[in-house]
Structure 1
């Protein structure tokens, strides 16, 4: 008898429009100095880029540090890099004992003189993780909006 462990594919999608070029939005996701300015769900957090190998198959490791010293470290690998149009990367929390890799896709397109960015985070293991990541991404996107202004 063969058994398989089914993994649900929970996902979330968020879309934002920016009064900025596609290049500016893309570079906010791909330049170390940009990421350290906005890549955390709250402005009082500090972002530390430990590794950023911007190439397909390249790794990244980013730490988000709370004011109380609590550290949140995410790591992954770039799956696709299509300059100014799309980034796809795996997402794994170092503290996740199950080592569940989820997938983040950033799609960037120009619409009526503005840049629309859609973030899709898929292959999450539960609705609870969707809710937690939704809260985190909402905070990050507020920081991104403030950075791009």
Structure 2
């Protein structure tokens, strides 16, 4: 199994960053790679339980992902399972994501650990997706300054 670890520092407090990674109204401003929007979702990472999102590109292709929020430890971390749905609607292999927040002298560090990704190729595609998604979060938070 392959794992992915990403780190980014944001110039806001851990409490503010936690709000940006858990509240639906904030999540929808940055969730998903660049060029995609979210026409359907149940994104609320404040509580344990099911979640899902459909990401749609400009050509109308849809990418459905879902899972369970497994833990919430405000304002330090959230964990959730992750599985893509196939064209037939069936969930594929499940992986595990943890968002961890730590205070830094510059603000807060967000650590994304995405585990159990199967192959290096799958991990590489997820790294591209998360990196693009984090660019969106960086842009949104930069606009707040």
Compute the TM-score of the two structures, normalised by the length of structure 1.
0.87
Which residue pairs with 2:41 in the alignment? 50
Q: 1:38 to 1:98 in 2, by over 3 A?
A: closer
Does the 8 Å contact 1:24/1:148 carry over to 2? no
Alignment match, 1:6: none
Q: Following the alignment from structure 2 to structure 1, what is the Cα–Cα distance between the partners of residues 63 and 112?
A: 20
Q: Which residue does the alignment assign to 1:35? A: 27
**Alpha-carbon deviation of 1:48?**
3.3
Q: Which runs of 5+ in 1 are unaligned?
A: 1-8
* RMSD of equivalent CA atoms: 1.6
Shift of 1:25: 1.3
Equivalences for residues 131-146 of structure 1 within 5 A:
131-146=124-139
Runs of 4+ in 1 over 6 A off after TM superposition: none
The answer for unaligned runs of 5 or more in structure 2 is none
Q: Which residue of 1 aligns with 2:97?
A: 104
Rg comparison, structure with higher value: 1
Write out per-residue CA displacement over residues 79-125 of structure 1, whole angstroms, 9 at most, x where no aligned residue. Answer: 11001100110001112867211000111010114101110000111
Task: Number of aligned residue pairs: give it.
Answer: 139
Q: What is the TM-score with the length of structure 2 in the denominator?
A: 0.89
Q: What secondary structure sits across from 1:124 in the alignment?
A: coil
